[in-house]
Amino acid sequence: MALLEAIFGKKKKEFKASCYITKEPLEKGFGYLLTTAQIITSKKYWDMVMTEPETMSYTMSHFNDQSSGTQMRAMIFEKYATISKPWIVSDSVISYFEVDKNEARANAKKWWETEGTFIPANVGPANQTLNETVFSHSKQYAILEAGSKKVKG
């Protein structure tokens, strides 16, 4: 086997990525690298997540005082808030986040150069990287308030 690899050469697979949020493919070197803390503190992000077709029924249930909808929204929050890796995101969603775009772009370039191994500061689950008050406010908004304008009008 080693002889065949030496003769034919094993081609290295090209590193590719897609936006963690929209799933759209990203061109090499593009995008923004964010932390879970930066993601979950965005009200715009939660309004989007909680009103997507897959989650809208939970949002409707929640605002109709059905505990099952609220429980599902809590589970959705936990799913995203506990992500320990950095998030590579596209140009189409960066406006949802109040971040230093130049720094996020520079971190993305480092991430691409290291084929996804670069880790920016403050990466980890949000409850470990945010102060308790900010985490609590973000959690409360995501579970209890996100999407209310779309549902209530």
pLDDT digits (tens, 9 = 90+) for 63-76: 999 999 999 999 99
Share of the chain above pLDDT 70, in %: 92
For the chain, report the end-to-end CA distance as a whole number of angstroms: 65
Tokens of 54: 């897959």
pLDDT tens digits along 4-46: 565 566 666 889 999 999 999 999 999 999 999 999 999 999 9
Tokens of 13: 């697979």
Q: For the chain, count helices (H), then strands (E).
A: 9, 4
